[in-house]
Amino acid sequence: QVQFVESGGGLVQTGGSLRLSCAASGIRISTYTMGWYRQAPGKQRELVASTLTDRSTNYADSVKGRFTISRDNAKNTVYLQMNDLQPEDTAAYYCNSIYVPRSWGQGTQVTVSS
């Protein structure tokens, strides 16, 4: 059974930083393109960052230059370093395999106060 367990969210002030972690089990992330998604209240879930198997990365325009996605294949974990957080980054954050999506984890809540 594939599981993703996200952690590291919290309440921060505008301009602050957080590092999210996504621990995967049941799959080896080394063979998958992995992504971080977020969903704000009343909005659709959106992809914000992805890391391919060759460790190349892609970002949504809204987070480019502020967020960094990385992976530790040995730990089967994906990370999202978020800097210069803004109120519009407030959302629940989730990770998943992009091209072979699995069941969603519980997510981790990020709240940025102005």
What pLDDT is stored for residue 111 in this prediction?
98
What pLDDT is stored for residue 64 in this prediction?
98
What pLDDT is stored for residue 82 in this prediction?
98
**pLDDT for 9-40, tens place per residue?**
999 999 999 999 999 999 999 999 999 999 99
HSE at residue 60, side-chain half, CA atoms within 13 A, is 12
Q: Which residues of the chain have pLDDT under 50?
A: none
Per-residue CA distances from 23 to 4, 16, 42, 66, 101 (Å) = 6, 23, 27, 22, 15
Per-residue CA distances from 2 to 17, 77, 96, 99 (Å) = 29, 13, 10, 15
What pLDDT is stored for residue 4 in this prediction?
98
